[in-house]
Amino acid sequence: MTGGPRTATLYWTAVALGLLLGGTIVATEFLGRAGPTVNLVIAAVKAALVAVVFMHLRWSSPLQRLFAGAAFFWLAILFALTFADYLTRRA
């Protein structure tokens, strides 16, 4: 790791995460059927904030980012191939 986040960056990230959590509650109460979808998008943003700032990916080497990205790339394959099967089955 070179450099790394400043203390203020860490605090502001935590504030942003708190606001996003609040946003999740609001979305559930007021957005009706769109709520769960919005909640998953919010979850993805939160996860990205944790990974980029708290887990230092923003300050990491490209190789570390590649390793982190590979996890989600393979996860995407797992989901894509599984759903390619289920969504195309005939009843």
Partner 1 sequence: METPVEMQFDDPAQQREASALGMWTFLASEVLFFGGVFTGYSIYRWKYPHAFAEASHHLYEWIGAVNTAILLTSSLFIALAVQALHTERPRRAWRLIIATLICGLAFLSLKAVEYWMDYQEGLVPGVRFDASKFTDPAPATLFFTFYFSMTGLHAAHVISGLLVLTVIGITLRRATDPGKYANSLENGALFWHLVDIIWIFLFPLLYLIGGPK
Interaction mask 5-34, partner 1, x per CB under 8 A: x-x--xx-xx--xx--x--xx--xxxxxx-
What would the two tokens of residue 5 be? Answer: 């986040």
The rounded distance, in Å, linking the Cα atoms of 56 and 67 is: 13
58 binds partner 1 (CB under 8 A): no
Contacts of 53 (CB under 8 A, 6+ apart): 5, 9, 10, 13
Indicate the helix (H) or strand (E) that contains 61: none
Q: How far is the CB of 20 from partner 1 (least distance, A)?
A: 9
The rounded distance, in Å, linking the Cα atoms of 58 and 2 is: 10
Residues lying near partner 1 in the complex (CB under 8 A) are found at 1-2, 4-5, 7, 10-11, 13-14, 17-18, 21, 24-25, 28-33, 35-36, 39-40, 42-43, 46-47, 50-51, 53-56, 60-61, 63-64, 67-68, 70-72, 74-75, 78-79, 82-83, 86-87
